[in-house]
């Protein structure tokens, strides 16, 4: 069993667990459920968390260089181990969706980037609402305010009417701002690449037409050259025959005796 094989085997279970986690977490946060009302959602969250832990342990055990893999994935360990960082488990959801959807949407980069940005904004809004809605002095207390804040943050507009005051909320805000810049950059680059490709295709088509016309003219010139060469050859042969006939007549006139009568 290799790490790559493990990832393929756990791909669908972890994806299902990620969606279950997102759904239960959404209900729990948007409804602002108290512990008694949200017990069923908490059970689903812990079940999804258990799947994430098994996936993390399997990848760690099968990693070719466990120490190196462990160091590079310390953030996932912290998110799984520390209850205070539970909202950031949505990062695991985003990673799983990215791994699953990346190959399916390859070649449709803009669509994928927009979908990923929307998912990131939704998860960011949930996370900020979860950590802010019950904090005294916070100004993000509903999902409407949270999603509005996430949209203006990821698009780098930043009106300033809503903003997080907790550490985790500000970390999410920083991630959304960086993601917004990346999204705009990818979309701009994709549009530029499309324009360059369109111009290149049109230029190539025009070059093909010019080359075809040049080849046609070259063929006509070559045919004309051959025709002229044939005519010159025929005229040369005719001149040679006429010259030979004249020489023969001159020779005959010198040899013939004069008339005695």
Q: Based on C-alpha coordinates, what's the Rg of the chain? A: 41
Give yes or no for a contact between 168 and 85, defined as CB atoms under 8 angstroms apart. yes
Backbone angles phi, psi at 166, to 5 degrees: -95, 165
pLDDT tier at 148 (50, 70, 90 boundaries)?
very high
* Residues in Cβ contact with 252 at an 8 Å cutoff, skipping those fewer than 6 apart: none
Residue 176 has pLDDT above 70, yes or no: yes
For the residues 205-210, what does the mean pLDDT come to? 78
Cα angle, residue 143 at apex, residues 141 and 149 outer, rounded to 5°? 85
Give yes or no for a contact between 14 and 21, defined as CB atoms under 8 angstroms apart. no
Q: What is the pLDDT of residue 108?
A: 61
Q: What is the pLDDT of residue 147?
A: 92
Note the pLDDT tens digit of each residue in 18-59.
888 888 888 888 888 887 887 888 898 888 888 888 888 898
In the chain, what percentage of residues exceed pLDDT 70? 83
pLDDT tier at 127 (50, 70, 90 boundaries)?
confident
Backbone angles phi, psi at 162, to 5 degrees: -130, 140
Residue 241 has pLDDT above 70, yes or no: yes
Give yes or no for a contact between 33 and 112, defined as CB atoms under 8 angstroms apart. no
**Best CA proximity match to 153, nearest among 131, 132, 171, 136:** 171
Spell out where the chain has E strands: none
Q: How far is CA 211 from the centre of its chain?
A: 34
Cα angle, residue 119 at apex, residues 117 and 125 outer, rounded to 5°? 100
Note the pLDDT tens digit of each residue in 64-103.
888 888 888 776 777 676 554 555 555 555 555 555 554 4
Note the pLDDT tens digit of each residue in 64-75.
888 888 888 776
Residue 106 has pLDDT above 50, yes or no: no
- Sort 203 into a burial class: Cβ within 10 Å, 0-12 / 13-18 / 19+: exposed
């Amino acid at each position: 069993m290799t790490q790559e094989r493990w990832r393929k085997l756990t791909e669908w279970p972890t994806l299902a667990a990620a969606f279950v986690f997102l759904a239960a977490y959404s209900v729990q946060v948007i409804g602002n459920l108290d512990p008694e009302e949200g017990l069923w959602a908490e059970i689903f969250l812990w079940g999804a968390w258990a799947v994430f832990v098994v996936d993390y342990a399997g990848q760690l055990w099968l990693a070719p260089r466990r120490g190196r893999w462990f160091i590079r994935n310390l953030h996932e360990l912290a998110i799984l181990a520390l209850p205070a960082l539970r909202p950031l488990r949505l990062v695991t959801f985003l990673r799983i969706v990215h791994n699953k959807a990346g190959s399916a949407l390859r070649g449709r980069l803009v669509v994928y980037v927009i979908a990923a940005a929307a998912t990131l904004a939704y998860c960011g809004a949930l996370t900020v609402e979860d950590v802010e809605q019950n904090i005294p002095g916070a100004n993000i207390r509903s999902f409407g305010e949270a999603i509005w804040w996430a949209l203006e943050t990821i698009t780098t507009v930043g009106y300033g009417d809503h903003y997080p005051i907790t550490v985790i909320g500000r970390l999410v805000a920083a991630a959304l701002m960086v993601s917004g810049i990346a999204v705009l950059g990818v979309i701009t680059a994709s549009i530029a690449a499309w324009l360059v490709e369109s111009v290149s295709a049109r230029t190539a088509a025009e070059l093909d037409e010019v080359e075809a016309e040049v080849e046609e003219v070259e063929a006509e010139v070559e045919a004309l050259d051959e025709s002229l060469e044939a005519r010159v050859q025929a005229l040369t042969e005719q001149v040679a025959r006429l010259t030979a006939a004249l020489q023969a007549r001159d020779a005959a006139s010198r040899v013939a005796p004069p008339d005695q009568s």
